[in-house]
A and B are shown apart, each in its own frame.
Chain A
Amino acid sequence: MPSLSRAALAALLLAAAAAPFAVDAESAPPPPASRTLDDYRHFRISAIDLLGRMPTREEIAAFERSDFDMDRWIDAQLGGPGYVERLTRIYMDALRLEPNVDFRTAPAELYRHDVLGPDGKPVTIYYRENQRRERPETDGEFCLSPDETGVVIRARQQDQGTPRKVTQKALDQATVLVKPWWLYRDFRTRNPVQRYGEGWKDPDPQYKPVESLLDDAEGKPVTEVRICREEAGTRDTGHVYASGRVKPLPKDAKLPGGRLRPPPLDRPYATQHQGQELACDTKMALDYAPDCGCGVGLERCVPGDSNQGGNAFYYPNHMPLGPGMPLDDARQQVQRWFPYWWSREAVHFLDDLFASDRDFREILTGKRTFVNGPLAQFYRTIQRSNCCGPEASFGMLEEKEPLFDPHAVPADLEPHDVSTWKVVENRGPHAAGILTMPMFLEKYASARARGAALYNDFLCKSFVAESQQLAPSSEPNLMVRPGCKTCHATLEPLAAYFARVEPASFVFLPQGDFPAHSTTCKLDRNGHLSGACTALYDPAFADASGATLRSAYGSPAHADETPAGAAQDITRMPEFASCAVQRVTSSFLGRATTPDDARLLEALTDTFVRSGFHMKALVRAIVRSDEYRRSNNLSSSPRLGTSP
């Protein structure tokens, strides 16, 4: 059959439309003459941008009605889930807030290993790496000695030796049975009975421990876990322990219990502070206090299913439409557990910012955030166990001014409440929007990386090196060193804002204990800083009278302002508003903005600032603009006449 002529086809279409034809019970009346192809396309791109999907037939039918008000429709979508996801996506794409590093915090991580039980069957025992114990045979090692098990057991290492049966007495002395939080909803009670999948029949659907934590090697449900006695300690406060070992053993001395390395010697701190109280959720507790364990139901620790760390929970690798719509469900290693929730915290924070149409400056200045069960566990205890090491030499045994005040964590969240998110209105005085979240601080691990992210993502500026050859130089000040100064004159003062947040960490160094310029830390006669000072103060910016805090040399004043000061300073800059406008406009236009867009951007920035930095006002102005209407790349141009 030859193809139909245009006129014949039009006649046929007209006839078909006029015929009483049951196409769809919901189909709308014919479109009014005022709806052009460009109107339809504007509606379609608006739906894609604001609803997050193409419009349905029903929505198109509503659009075709004469009483349809496009402006009212746009306003109705602003604040909806599609709009919120759209804006969050812009900033998640810019910041990429998901770490590609593992988070391993020794005091919190439980390894597990099998030994041969008295009956010759394997017995699985959980333990912590480097746990202090009073028995010299096992101090700093696995709680059963190589003489008792036949093997040297160390985390993430191959066993050495041949397993032998452990006596019941040794097993009972060194280990205990516990009903842990990952198995029991009511782990805080004296006798927990609500086991995952049994008494606890409606666990959070997103809380899924791996099978190897739930069942033993024979597939039988695990009802209790065996754990080294010290790790099972439930105290909140422990005591500094000194073993009395201060001198190294002679080289040929027999090591106790068949251990391969000598038991640890007492550090000066232990000798000087023996018996002194110590908070059990600190790094110091692992180093000095054998009476500090993982707490009630092991709530201060997270389990892995092997001696390598291993798997712990299921959660998706990919969920572009949110956790309720995952693309997969994968077994994940324990080191990924908290970074996964840090990332979700950032998403929740951004979602709330846009859904509630809060002042956009809160992305940097906001004190509030959202936490769920794992994050509550993290901020309540595990965050604290990141501190303190070198800081102890400065008198800080536990974090004094944490970025997230543990007291602000809602008390009623348990580690397995993964879908329950609660608002925390004020994380603490040093909180600064996204800048002090673990996700940002781990993703951008150094002060310079953090400063550069601030510069790129919130001022839309890049560091471009000048075309200059780098001559060898010993000048430590990169703000003046030839070839470096072009970028570093700007970068170093930005980095200084983050000098009080330790690199690759979130430990905050208070000004009182760690002045930007210390007169206590100074070069000795040989031109060296002491070991403790070197960890936190920069030998390159030290002299006989004092030393500068690492990363602070670009601006000691900025170091004292902290990230919260950076947030205030950056949001006051005119580039902050124009950068946000440029970023969002570019995303909605589907292309990079050009100098031709200057007038549009200027008008939009004016609208945005006048609105009090509210994103809805900006997006409303973008979506109603002629430029946006023209932005679709399939306008009703004649060239479409040749397309199918």
Chain B
Amino acid sequence: MKALSVAALCLLLACAGPAEHVYPGPRTPLPEHGATAEDTAHKEDLRMVPPEVYMRTYLHLFGGLAPLDVQKRARAGDGAALFDTWDDYVSALGFPDYRLDVPRQTQTNALMTATFERLGVALCDRALEHDLKAPKGAQPPPLGERLVFAFDLPRTTVDVAGFAPRFDVLHRTFLGYPASLAPPERTARYFQLYRDIVAGHAQADPKSRFSPEEAGWAAVCYGLVRHPEFHLY
């Protein structure tokens, strides 16, 4: 009983002590280093294209294939390991998994974007092979049957006048409107990208499986599937 009373007294004394400051403030006010205006503009999260839409768009763009066929085509046999299997990417793509109670990712994130980019890049290569790169002794498919690159490919590097209408085809395909309504620098920037890649590939050693011109158009395709306007809506 005596021990209990002592313990109770100790507890009371402990409670009566001064409040403990876990994070003591500075002894003197911090000096001002500058002032910035508060940004009061309305903020909204960016809206991500739902993964189902991405998927259906890719399936449509790349020839109306089933997902497992897309996986096969994206993996191909070129050793580039651009794509693994859908199962590896399901959660990275933002799909929900009701079975595990994993909810849908409603906002964009870097992992999701990067995953779709990876697939897009793989499919750009495959589409280019289908549309522009005929096997020896054969002709590429007619324009109406081309999946993405629905234009003819001159044997030589195009100039900006030749580039712009072809770029417009890709621009409409991926971003949904004519390049003429885009910011005016866009075509020039993509043309610059095309030219740089063509030049780089001309000097590349060992040689790529794509010709410099083909590599240039593939790079334009990569740029468009990575464009923020493709990912957001």
Contact = CB atoms under 8 A, between A and B. Distances in A.
Interface in B154-179: 160-162, 164-166, 168-169, 172-174, 176-179
Contacts of A25: 142-144
Interface string A619-644: 00000000000011110100011111
B228 interface: yes
Majority-rule SS of B interface residues: helix
Nearest to A13: B164
Nearest to B151: A23
B57 A317 contact: no
Given A6-B185, A26-B144, A96-B96, A326 B150 contact: no
A70 to B, nearest CB: 15
B189 A45 contact: no
B14 to A, nearest CB: 21
Contacts of A644: 186, 189-190, 223, 227
B229 A325 contact: no
Interface in B36-94: 44-47, 49-53, 55-57, 59-60, 66-68, 71, 85-87, 90
A16 B86 contact: no
A100 B100 contact: yes
A40 interface: yes
A41 B169 contact: no
Interface in A1-38: 1, 3-4, 6, 9-10, 12-13, 15-17, 19, 21-27, 31, 36-37
Interface in B165-203: 165-166, 168-169, 172-174, 176-181, 183-192, 195
Interface residues of A, number: 69
A171 B103 CA distance: 52
Nearest to B228: A643
Nearest to A95: B98
Contacts of A54: 49, 53, 57, 174, 176
Contacts of A43: 176
B168 A633 contact: no
Most buried by A among B166, B183, B227: B183
A10 B160 contact: no
A642 B183 CA distance: 8
B161 A328 contact: no
B33 to A, nearest CB: 29
Nearest to B174: A54
Contacts of B233: 44-45, 48, 590, 632-634
Contacts of B191: 4
B52 A23 contact: no
A556 interface: no
B68 A326 contact: yes
A19 B104 CA distance: 48
A461 interface: no
A531 interface: no
B169 A57 contact: yes
B212 to A, nearest CB: 16
B222 to A, nearest CB: 12
A interface, over-half SS = loop
B60 A4 contact: no
A97 interface: yes
A37 B177 contact: yes
A99 B185 CA distance: 52
Nearest to A330: B87
B32 interface: no
Given A9-B188, A100-B101, A328 B86 contact: yes
B53 A53 contact: yes
Contacts of B47: 590-591, 631-633
B136 interface: no
Given A26-B144, A60-B177, A93 B228 contact: no
Given A60-B177, A97-B98, A100-B101, A24 B185 contact: no
B177 to A, nearest CB: 4
Nearest to B227: A644
Interface in A98-137: 98-100
B61 to A, nearest CB: 8
A22 B189 contact: no
Contact of A52 (B46, B52, B183): B52
A507 B95 CA distance: 34
Contact of A99 (B71, B99, B173): B99
A246 interface: no
Nearest to B169: A23
A612 interface: no
Contacts of A45: 233
Contacts of A327: 67-68, 71, 86-87, 90
Contact of A41 (B166, B173, B176): B176
Nearest to A9: B188
B232 interface: yes
Contacts of A92: 98
Interface string B195-233: 100000000000000000000000000010001110011
Given A21-B165, A24-B143, A321 B99 contact: no
B44 A591 contact: yes
A16 B85 CA distance: 42
Between B90, B142, B168, B176, the greatest number of chain A beta carbons within 10 A of the residue's beta carbon is seen for B176
A52 B180 CA distance: 26
B183 A641 contact: yes
A92 B50 CA distance: 14
Interface string A218-261: 00000000000000000000000000000000000000000000
Contacts of B176: 40-41, 43-44, 47, 54-55, 60
Of A37, A57, A60, A92, most B-chain CB atoms within 10 Å: A57
20 contacts: A3-B188, A21-B165, A23-B166, A25-B142, A26-B150, A37-B181, A52-B53, A54-B49, A54-B57, A60-B177, A93-B103, A96-B96, A318-B86, A318-B95, A324-B66, A325-B66, A633-B47, A633-B232, A641-B183, A641-B185
Given A57-B169, A327-B67, 10 more contacts: A1-B195, A3-B188, A13-B187, A23-B166, A48-B49, A54-B174, A327-B68, A636-B181, A643-B186, A644-B189
Interface of B: 44-47, 49-53, 55-57, 59-60, 66-68, 71, 85-87, 90, 95-101, 103-104, 142-144, 150-152, 160-162, 164-166, 168-169, 172-174, 176-181, 183-192, 195, 223, 227-229, 232-233
The 4 closest A-B pairs by CB, nearest first: A590-B47, A40-B177, A98-B98, A327-B86
